[in-house]
Structure 1
Amino acid sequence: MRIGLRTIKTAVGAAIAILVAYYMHLQYWPAAGIITVLSVQNTTKSSLRLAFFRVISTAIAFLIAIISFHLIGYNAIAFGVFLLLFIPVADMFNLQDGIILSAVLVTHFLIERSTSWYWIGNESLLMVVGAGIAIIANLFMPNLEDRISTYQAAVEDSMRAILENMSQQLLGAADETKKADLIKTSWDHISDLKIAINDGTAWTVRHNENQLLSENDYYRAYFEMRNNQYELLRQMQNSLEKIPATVLQSKAIAKILTQTANDLAEDNSTKDLIENVEILQQKFHVSALPKSREEFEIRAQLYYLLNNFHQFLRLKHTFYTIVASQN
Structure 2
Amino acid sequence: MKIGLRTIKTALGAVIAMVLAYELKLDYWSTAGIITILSVQNTTRYSFSVAGLRIGATILAFGLAILSFWLLGFNPWAFGLFLLLFIPLAMQLRLQEGIVVSAVLVSHFLLQKSYSWYWLSNEFELMLIGVGVALLFNLFMPSLMAQIKGFQNTAEDELRQILLQMAEQLTGTTDVPTWQHLGALLTVIRKGRNWASRQQDNQLLVENDFYRSYFEMRRNQYEMLRQMQANLDQITLSLKESAPIRELLTETATTLAEPTKVPHLQKSVTKLQKKFDAAPLPTNRAEFESRAHLYLFLLDFETLLTLAGDFYEKVVLTEK
Percent of residue pairs identical: 50
Q: Which residue, out of 285, 288, 309, partners 1:293? A: 285
Residue of structure 1 equivalent to 2:201 = 209
Q: Does structure 1 residue 321 correspond to structure 2 residue 313?
A: yes
Letter in 1 for 2:262: T
Q: Which residue, out of 305, 312, 321, partners 2:304? A: 312
Distance 1:282 1:90 in 2: 63
Distance 1:120 1:97 in 2: 20
1:301 Cα deviation after fit: 1.1
Q: Does structure 1 residue 58 correspond to structure 2 residue 50?
A: no
1:293 Cα deviation after fit: 2.1
8 Å contact kept, 1:11–1:37: yes
* Paired residue secondary structure (1:270): helix
Distance 1:295 1:130 in 2: 72
C-alpha distance after superposition, 1:108-147 (max 9, x if no partner): 1111111111110010000000000000010000111111
8 Å contact kept, 2:259–2:309: no
Residue of structure 2 equivalent to 1:155 = 155
C-alpha distance after superposition, 1:126-169 (max 9, x if no partner): 00000000000100001111111111111111111111110111
C-alpha distance after superposition, 1:4-59 (max 9, x if no partner): 11101100101110111111111111110000001000001111111101111111
Distance 1:290 1:88 in 2: 69
Residue of structure 2 equivalent to 1:101 = 101
Letter in 1 for 2:114: S
Q: Does structure 1 residue 234 correspond to structure 2 residue 233?
A: no
8 Å contact kept, 1:269–1:316: no
C-alpha distance after superposition, 1:162-208 (max 9, x if no partner): 111101110112xxxxx1x21xx100000001101111111111111
Q: Which residue, out of 249, 268, 276, partners 2:268? A: 276
1:268 Cα deviation after fit: 4.6
1:289 Cα deviation after fit: 2.1
* 1:71 to 1:202, Cα distance in 2 relative to 1, 3 A: same
8 Å contact kept, 2:255–2:261: no
Residue of structure 2 equivalent to 1:176 = none
8 Å contact kept, 1:242–1:301: yes
Q: Does structure 1 residue 22 correspond to structure 2 residue 22?
A: yes
1:269 Cα deviation after fit: 4.3
Structure 1: runs of 5+ lacking an equivalent: 174-178
Residue of structure 1 equivalent to 2:34 = 34
8 Å contact kept, 2:68–2:82: yes
1:266 Cα deviation after fit: 5.7
Counting matched residue pairs gives: 319
TM-score (norm 1): 0.95
Which stretch has the larger CA shift, 282-291 or 243-252? Answer: 282-291
